[in-house]
Chains A and B, each alone.
Chain A
Amino acid sequence: MTAAVRPTDPPLEAASPAASAPVASRLGLAGYLVCAGGIVRRELLRFVNQKERFFSALVRPLVWLFIFAAGFRNVLGVSIIPPYETYVLYEVYVTAGLAAMIQLFNGMQSSLSMVYDREVGSMRVLLTSPYPRWSLLLAKLAAGVAVSLVQVYVFLAIARFWEVDVPWLGYLTALPAFVAVGLMLGSIGLFLSSLVRQLENFASVMNFVIFPMFFASSALYPLWRIRESSEALYLICQANPFTHGVELIRHALYGSFEPVACAVVVGTTLLFFLLAVVAYDPGRGIMARRGGPPGEGS
């Protein structure tokens, strides 16, 4: 006990008339927006505090861009495919995929933080909020997207110095695409977080989700190249929602809109968000079934 002031010393009511006054319970939309804002703010604060997380989130795609892409520049020629109007360097091709990779890792990292939140109990704090549970999960998703946007735009800014010249307007037109893809990957992560029992299982998420999604997509190579070697693999890549996320971003960066990709991204988001809401529902989901506090009711 180090505090100089003992809690019983000051007369309580005198110390805090404001604290004891009744407070309007802001259960309406305005209150919810405050709540969602608070959740996003907390996530950003935590992100800023974890410098190594920010650093590694940036280093990963930059290593790909600076080293991998340089090495493969001459091996992987990219013909003229939409949205590019001329031959592009491999670095330019791979940038959209790497931006999506940042979001992929971030989405899964948010799911990791949900598992962590569950273990240390801050999930319980979140769920004491009076707002509907689905709306709290939505705010959590938005918070993850906000963090991923910071990472993506810093990456794009650095990539610009590496001859990846996206049209200036492209940074703006890509914003809705990044938000949509962020929501999609976040909701997949949210759903996974309900399945992952403990933090250690995150390694399997890496192996079974992140890597297959990333490599079986158009992030690193155009799909026609894959089709040349295997029709089956091509179909798998086409079925991978991450491919559509990458293509949505790639087109948006050059001011064009890819309706099929957009539909897949939106549909996947809705599906996984719904599944996550069911999983986190107090009645049906994992929170009630996944054992109880240790020792109770044995």
Chain B
Amino acid sequence: MTGGGGTIRGGPGPALSVEGVSHRFGAREALSGVSLAVPVGRFVALLGPNGAGKTTLFSIVTRLYHTRQGRVAVFGHNLAREPAQGLARIGVVFQARTLDTDLTVRQNLLYHAALHGLPRRVAMGRVEALLARVGLLDRIDDKIRVLSGGQSRRVEIARSLVHGPSLLLLDEPTVGLDLESRADILATVRALVRDEGISVLWATHIFEELQPDDALVVLHRGRVIADGTAAQVAGGGTLEAAFRRMTALEKAA
């Protein structure tokens, strides 16, 4: 173990490994025996309709809830045994907007840096570099309240990278955005994978966001019903048609 000092980047095992994870809320079963892996440096899409269990899975992987059944490991660090080592390597963009709207972009990002133990003098340069990357450096001292939906999403992406994580989790990051903003966000994240080798788990219910060679996990009613590249899962037709076929089979079974 790297203990207090080590670097965040790298480490053994896939970036994220989820093995046999189940979760219930009282009598409701939200996840049932879910397994998936995000290889290092890959973009993996988690596709599922609303209510499929994507957000529950994100809550478990970010340790909002304990892993009751199954195992979650981040770069080989079992989240149940070494939560700090795991969490330090994860950057998250939640589905809900989670920026402080009364604070400025800079204040929000510095707060997040502090949460990960980065002192201001170290964080300041990183914050500016990341904002330049998402094209919002000129808005650094604006309050979040005056930004557009797409802009605050990009701030959230910059925020999720402040502590230099190697694994980025995004829970439906494009929900509620117009087409152009959606494309921007997607392009930014794909560039991170391509240029920085960051591993990404991208949850979505929008078929159009996927490319044929993307790794894909299809979640439906808390179960993984397909796993492969988008092209494989689509099986020659469109992804949407394949998805309807699979969910219809589920219903019949």
Q: Which residues of A contact B (CB under 8 A)?
A: 1-13, 15-28, 30-32, 34-35, 37-39, 41-42, 45-46, 49-50, 120-122, 124-132, 282-283, 287-289, 291-298
Residues from chain A with a CB closer than 8 A to the CB of B222 are 296-297
How many cross-chain pairs have Cβ atoms below 8 Å apart between A and B? 236
Contact A50 B97 (CB under 8 A): no
| Residue of A whose beta carbon sits closest to that of B30 | A297
Is the CB of B19 closer than 8 A to any CB of chain A? Answer: no
Contact A3 B115 (CB under 8 A): no
Is the CB of B235 closer than 8 A to any CB of chain A? Answer: no
Residues from chain A with a CB closer than 8 A to the CB of B227 are none
Contact B56 A1 (CB under 8 A): no
A38 CB contact (under 8 Å) in B31, B53, B114, B151: B114
Contact B115 A129 (CB under 8 A): yes
B222 smallest CB distance to A (angstroms): 6
Between-chain CB contacts (< 8 Å), 16 pairs: A1-B150, A19-B129, A25-B85, A25-B88, A25-B117, A26-B117, A26-B118, A34-B114, A38-B115, A46-B100, A49-B103, A126-B115, A128-B62, A130-B86, A296-B222, A297-B29
Most buried by A among B55, B117, B185, B196: B117
B65 CB contact (under 8 Å) in A131, A288, A294: A288
A125 CB contact (under 8 Å) in B4, B6, B83, B115: B115
Instruction: Return the 7 tightest CB-CB contacts between A and B, nearest first.
Output: A38-B114, A31-B117, A297-B30, A16-B129, A26-B117, A5-B135, A295-B51
| Residue of B whose beta carbon sits closest to that of A40 | B114
| Residue of A whose beta carbon sits closest to that of B52 | A296
Is the CB of B180 closer than 8 A to any CB of chain A? Answer: yes
| Residue of A whose beta carbon sits closest to that of B166 | A22
Contact B114 A12 (CB under 8 A): no
Contact A1 B148 (CB under 8 A): yes
Contact B196 A13 (CB under 8 A): yes
Contact A121 B114 (CB under 8 A): no
Instruction: Known contacts A50-B102, A296-B30; decide if A12 and B191 are in contact (CB<8 Å).
Output: yes
Main secondary structure of the interface of A (DSSP, over half): loop
Instruction: Known contacts A19-B164, A121-B98, A130-B83; decide if A24 and B30 are in contact (CB<8 Å).
Output: no
Contact A7 B188 (CB under 8 A): yes
Indicate with 1 or 0, residue by residue over B130-161, a CB within 8 angstroms of chain A CB atoms: 10111110110000000010110010000001
B64 CB contact (under 8 Å) in A25, A282, A294, A295: A282
Contact A35 B148 (CB under 8 A): no
| Residue of A whose beta carbon sits closest to that of B26 | A289
Is the CB of B71 closer than 8 A to any CB of chain A? Answer: no
Instruction: Known contacts A25-B7, A26-B118, A128-B87; decide if A121 and B102 are in contact (CB<8 Å).
Output: no
Residues from chain A with a CB closer than 8 A to the CB of B136 are 3, 5
A113 smallest CB distance to B (angstroms): 11
Contact A35 B150 (CB under 8 A): no
A34 CB contact (under 8 Å) in B5, B118, B187: B118
Residues from chain A with a CB closer than 8 A to the CB of B24 are 297
| Residue of A whose beta carbon sits closest to that of B182 | A1
A231 to B205, CA, bound (A): 66
A252 to B3, CA, bound (A): 43
A35 smallest CB distance to B (angstroms): 5
A41 to B222, CA, bound (A): 40
B120 smallest CB distance to A (angstroms): 8
A3 to B188, CA, bound (A): 14
A6 to B183, CA, bound (A): 10
B215 smallest CB distance to A (angstroms): 22
Interface segment, B35-43, B104-112, B206-214, B245-253?
Answer: B104-112
Is the CB of B73 closer than 8 A to any CB of chain A? Answer: no
Contact A9 B135 (CB under 8 A): yes
Is the CB of B192 closer than 8 A to any CB of chain A? Answer: yes
Contact B164 A297 (CB under 8 A): no
A296 smallest CB distance to B (angstroms): 5
Is the CB of B47 closer than 8 A to any CB of chain A? Answer: no
Contact A18 B125 (CB under 8 A): yes
A46 to B187, CA, bound (A): 33
Contact A30 B115 (CB under 8 A): no
Contact B114 A124 (CB under 8 A): no
Contact B117 A121 (CB under 8 A): no
Residues from chain B with a CB closer than 8 A to the CB of A8 are 184, 187-188, 191
Residues from chain A with a CB closer than 8 A to the CB of B85 are 25, 27, 130
Contact A27 B103 (CB under 8 A): no
Instruction: Known contacts A34-B117, A49-B102, A121-B98; decide if A292 and B28 are in contact (CB<8 Å).
Output: yes
A279 to B149, CA, bound (A): 34
Most buried by B among A122, A126, A294: A122
Is the CB of B84 closer than 8 A to any CB of chain A? Answer: yes
A34 to B163, CA, bound (A): 13
A193 smallest CB distance to B (angstroms): 16
A234 to B195, CA, bound (A): 71
Residues from chain B with a CB closer than 8 A to the CB of A25 are 2, 4-8, 85, 88-89, 116-117, 163
Is the CB of B181 closer than 8 A to any CB of chain A? Answer: yes
